[in-house]
Structure 1
Amino acid sequence: PIKGAPGRPLTRPLATNGIIGSLYEPQSGWPDLRFALGAGFNGNGTPLMSIVDSFLGRQPDGTYSDNSLDALYAVNCLDRTDRADPQRTIELGDEWASTSPTFGRELAWSNLPCYDYPAPPTNEPRVIAADGAKEILLVGTTRDPATPYVWAKEVNDQLANSVLITFDGDGHTGYGRNGCVTNAVDKAFLSGELPSADTTCS
């Protein structure tokens, strides 16, 4: 740990969360992260602590701006039938760290709250084809740090009637961050006209 906010040292998990949060938005997050990492390497963890607090919605008085983290775990845990116990989490951390030394172990441990979540899983993962539905529009970002592009491709392959817009770019999501994507989505909602099946925006 290094010096962070008063009474709150910057630990590795907090630093990792700050890095992950910064990767969502290349325009503002990446420059802020560059500055925060420079400060951190010089023993000052305050900038990175500020980033993680902003990412998690933590206020100066220790309260949180909303319950989005609670909602995130509610959704994720109810979808998980493979809730890992602490020993399995340690094993997963080692496995994932071999693929991602920076994030693997922390991401494995981030699933542990689901182990003793007070409600059982109710939505076992399954293939969803949505047969009979009108055409469904999907957007996938090729270098999305949170929702990998391969997931968008897999869902597109599962659905019986869908169109995938590929945003060849960085950051989390494409709508509102890329004019080509935004225009295509707006057109779909406003006029019902979907783009061609192989639309790529950059």
Structure 2
Amino acid sequence: MTLRPALATTLALALTVTLAGCIAPAAPTPEPEVSDGLAPFFEQGVDWTECGEGVDCATIVAPLDWEHPAMGSIELAVSRIAATGTARGSLLVNPGGPGGSGFDFVRDSIRYVASADLMEEFDLVGWDPRGVGRSSAVECLDGAAMDELLFGQWDNAYETKAWVTELEAAEAEYAAACARNTGPLLEFVDSGSTARDMNLLRALLGDEKLNYLGFSYGTFFGTMFAELFPERVGRLVLDGALDPSIGALDWFAVQMKGFDDALVAYLAFCVGQGNCPLGGTEAAARSTFTNLLDTVDAKGIESADGRALDSATLGFAIAAALYSEENWPALTSMFEEVAVGESFIAFQFADSYYGRGGTAEYDNNSFDVYTATLCLDDDFQGDEYDVRSGLDAIDAAAPLVGGYFAFDDYAHVEAACTAWPYAPKKQPGMYDAAGADPILVIGTTNDPATPYAWAKSLAGQLESGVLVTFNGEGHTAYGRSNGCIVETVDAYFIDGTVPTSDPNC
């Protein structure tokens, strides 16, 4: 389910953070239905501190276990950009993942995503969900051990029985390290707990109902919130939606086919540009591409720091590039490099996806949270699939790039979650959010990471779901597509205007 932060809308910006004076705490919304054990969490004040130009930050406290609040507490890091006009309330934002930093997304990037009209009307608020970054965080491996897991070379060839055995042993060690280094938090980084954190944030921000813009896996957080708290749904936009009704293997297989579909669109673009390094026709380009991935393991291509560019890493780099149509020219340059035994661009794509900076340095823990959350949100331990049978299903659905991408994605998750020290959480029987106000569900027709069929399905499952289609390429739509999407989303958030039919942007 490789959904991580919405790369198409997240910008890598540098920001010097300075701390200044405090700002008056917000008044929490009274919560008469809260139990005595939870009351202290809903009654806490929020002390905002200036932490950058036009940015306020705060830390709130949430229960470790929402069902047993006496077990202890965790911290959630929050960032806010105040409305440029008179705020009508807060708009909570999450970039996806699971594992993406909403704190960084709002602090560093939201001005490049949200329209001026939206920023005039709402305080835009991001947070690091439990387990992520500045909040109480999941910790698994140090940088060198992470490099070995992600980029180290196996003793056995991919897809062989011996490789599966080797992988399962490595992932069991990884799962044990996550438990050892994270502690009790590791059991509670599921989406149900995050949805309850969102309800806490809503109350502490002083909003009777939640207004929310969720991208990618952030749409599942929003869907879970709507199912648990339908009466608290304000204006929710779920962009790049997940389908919560299907099992984990189906999610991966459909998603990997989405990357194959995006690759086909890229190959047509490459050929159409002329001088495509993969060939002069789409058929030739597809053949060259297939041969490249089939043979790259034997070529001995390395990065400047000695990491091998094998078929899994190359497949991962290609998939990362396919998140946005804007990356296609760089993808062409990458194929030109690989053809002559170079790997600089390929590792740029792979490293940016993993949050890897300098040598064996990782600037976030998104990979660990991604794994931990999927292990709790889906039943990898009890389903009928293992690594081998799951890869067979993915190969059948996505024979171009998806099957190679799955070596470092699905196979990792399947093996790690099978060995995970905590059982998956019980999920709702359905996701209809009965009684909720209208919810916009946005799908992009050739989105590689969250295929359009998922948005259609989710909009149909939600009792008040309204489908909004963006006809285009890339992952997610708001802030990176066209004026029709911006106008539709802004009118909904600002004026409460709900489309009477799909605008087909």
- 2: CA distance, partners of 1:190 / 1:123: 36
Deviation at 1:123, TM superposition (A): 3.8
- 1: CA distance, partners of 2:378 / 2:501: 31
Number of residue pairs matched?
199
Match of 1:83 in 2: 381
- Pick from 187, 190, 198 the counterpart of residue 491 of structure 2: 187
Match of 1:14 in 2: 313
Contact kept, 8 Å, 1:94 with 1:105, in 2: the verdict is: no
- 2: CA distance, partners of 1:17 / 1:82: 22
Structure number with the bigger relative contact order (C-alpha 8 A, sep ≥ 6) is: 2
Match of 1:142 in 2: 445
Amino acid at match of 1:51: F
- Pick from 360, 367, 370 the counterpart of residue 72 of structure 1: 370
Amino acid at match of 2:411: W
Contact kept, 8 Å, 1:96 with 1:105, in 2: the verdict is: no
2:118 paired with 1:118? no
- 1: CA distance, partners of 2:355 / 2:382: 27
Matches within 5 A, 1:1-202: 1=297, 2-27=301-326, 29-83=327-381, 88-101=386-399, 102-104=401-403, 106-107=405-406, 108-112=410-414, 113-124=416-427, 126-178=429-481, 179-201=483-505
Contact kept, 8 Å, 2:315 with 2:404, in 1: the verdict is: no
Q: Unaligned stretches of 5+ in structure 2?
A: 1-296
Deviation at 1:125, TM superposition (A): 6.5
Amino acid at match of 1:99: A
* Cα deviations by residue, 1:93-115 (Å, 9 ceiling, x for unpaired): 12221221221254231422222
Report the CA distance shift for 1:84/1:123 in structure 2 as closer, same or farther (over 3 A): closer
Structure 1 or 2, whichever has the larger Rg, is: 2
* Cα deviations by residue, 1:77-102 (Å, 9 ceiling, x for unpaired): 211113379x8211221222122122
Report the CA distance shift for 1:5/1:125 in structure 2 as closer, same or farther (over 3 A): farther
Contact kept, 8 Å, 1:80 with 1:121, in 2: the verdict is: yes
Deviation at 1:142, TM superposition (A): 0.7
Contact kept, 8 Å, 1:79 with 1:125, in 2: the verdict is: no
Amino acid at match of 1:17: F
* Cα deviations by residue, 1:47-82 (Å, 9 ceiling, x for unpaired): 201111112210113221212222222222211113
Amino acid at match of 1:13: A
- 1: CA distance, partners of 2:381 / 2:340: 39
Which secondary structure does the structure 1 equivalent of 2:308 belong to? strand
Which secondary structure does the structure 2 equivalent of 1:82 belong to? coil
- 1: CA distance, partners of 2:420 / 2:428: 18
- 2: CA distance, partners of 1:39 / 1:161: 49
Amino acid at match of 1:177: R
Report the CA distance shift for 1:131/1:17 in structure 2 as closer, same or farther (over 3 A): same
Contact kept, 8 Å, 1:93 with 1:105, in 2: the verdict is: no
Deviation at 1:30, TM superposition (A): 1.1
Percent identity between the aligned chains? 36
Amino acid at match of 2:485: V
* Runs of 4+, deviation exceeding 4 Å: none
Contact kept, 8 Å, 1:129 with 1:158, in 2: the verdict is: yes
- 1: CA distance, partners of 2:428 / 2:453: 17
- 2: CA distance, partners of 1:64 / 1:148: 29
- 2: CA distance, partners of 1:123 / 1:4: 43
Report the CA distance shift for 1:84/1:131 in structure 2 as closer, same or farther (over 3 A): closer
- 2: CA distance, partners of 1:154 / 1:123: 21
